[in-house]
């Protein structure tokens, strides 16, 4: 009888920690970028030009993703591979020409993929972040004893993050001043710039898990802080926090 109870306790403990699981999560990214309204000047091979741009604010993009878990039975250590996307739309407006300092040599400017209206560009643009990362977790403590329905953890890891650049003064100047001569017209390929912005980042996570000892499901609530390398345009989107809830199946 004692052996039977011991085996039953071990099986219950293993089920409480799980072994392998997968699920989905949703949450809110705390990325917040203020409204942007700026006129600026820049130089192309010794000639001064001016341009202006207005951009709506971005606040708390919605996040959706999935994850795969691997918890080590009887040892308070677990691993997670996650992937997610965060997105938000914002409107920006800008002229269709670059103006020289005396207003006599305006250069047409084309944003590839966007149509020019009667008063210039007025477009919806999507800010997006797509991430995949690896996390190691340490379950600091849990209760009640043995089954540990409630578990609290901390952890960290690394991943790759694809973050779209924002339409901004730095982006416009960086792209337009690549010219080595005064062009008759010029263009900016936003899609090509988006595709080139992939960077490695690191993160810290803390949270808690609710896992009934019998049902093969778990609910996680956690907070993850990530920092990545700043892009070439100085966008304030490289460091961000994420609050998310997860629903997972364990086997």
The terminus-to-terminus CA distance of the chain in angstroms comes to: 27
CA distances from 242 to 32, 50, 60, 217, 221 (A): 12, 38, 9, 22, 11
Please determine, looking at this structure, whether the domain spanning 2-250 carries the CATH number 2.40.160.20: yes
Average pLDDT over residues 215-236: 90
Task: Count CB-CB contacts under 10 A for residue 133.
Answer: 23
d(Cα 206, Cα 225) in Å, to the nearest integer? 9
The predicted pLDDT at position 140 comes to: 93
Q: What are the boundaries of each domain within the chain? A: 2-250
Over the stretch 85-122, which tens digit does the pLDDT of each residue have?
A: 998 888 889 888 888 876 667 888 888 878 887 788 88
The predicted pLDDT at position 195 comes to: 67
Question: Quick one: which of 161, 163, 207 has its CA closest to 69?
Answer: 207
Over the stretch 118-146, which tens digit does the pLDDT of each residue have?
A: 788 888 888 889 999 999 999 998 888 77
Q: Is the pLDDT of residue 58 over 80?
A: yes
The predicted pLDDT at position 1 comes to: 53
φ/ψ of 158, rounded to 5, equals -140, 160
Over the stretch 160-179, which tens digit does the pLDDT of each residue have?
A: 999 988 888 888 888 878 76
d(Cα 20, Cα 72) in Å, to the nearest integer? 9
Q: Is the pLDDT of residue 194 over 80?
A: no
Question: Quick one: which of 249, 251, 109 has its CA closest to 190?
Answer: 109
Please report, rounded to a whole number, the percentage of residues in the chain having pLDDT higher than 90: 34
């Amino acid at each position: 009888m004692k052996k039977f109870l011991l085996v039953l306790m071990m099986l219950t403990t293993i089920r409480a920690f799980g072994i392998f699981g997968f699920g989905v999560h949703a949450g809110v990214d705390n990325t917040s970028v203020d409204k942007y309204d700026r006129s600026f000047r820049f130089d192309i091979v010794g000639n001064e030009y001016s341009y202006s741009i207005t951009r709506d604010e971005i606040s708390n993009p919605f996040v959706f993703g999935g994850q795969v878990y691997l918890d080590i039975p009887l040892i308070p250590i677990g691993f997670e591979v996650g992937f997610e996307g965060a997105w938000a739309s914002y409107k920006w407006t800008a002229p269709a020409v670059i103006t020289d300092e005396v207003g006599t040599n305006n250069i047409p400017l084309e944003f590839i993929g966007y149509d020019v209206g009667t008063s210039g560009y007025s477009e919806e643009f999507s800010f997006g972040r797509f991430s995949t990362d690896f996390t190691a977790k340490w379950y600091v403590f849990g209760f009640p004893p043995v089954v540990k329905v409630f578990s609290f953890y901390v952890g960290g890891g690394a991943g790759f993050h694809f973050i779209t650049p924002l339409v901004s003064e730095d982006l416009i100047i960086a792209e337009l001043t690549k010219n080595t001569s005064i062009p008759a017209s010029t263009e900016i390929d936003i899609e090509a710039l988006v595709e080139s912005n992939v960077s490695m980042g690191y993160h810290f996570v803390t949270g808690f898990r609710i896992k009934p000892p019998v049902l093969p499901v778990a609910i996680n609530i956690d907070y993850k802080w990530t920092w990545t390398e700043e892009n070439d345009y100085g966008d304030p989107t490289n460091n961000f926090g994420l609050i998310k809830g997860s629903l997972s199946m364990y086997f």
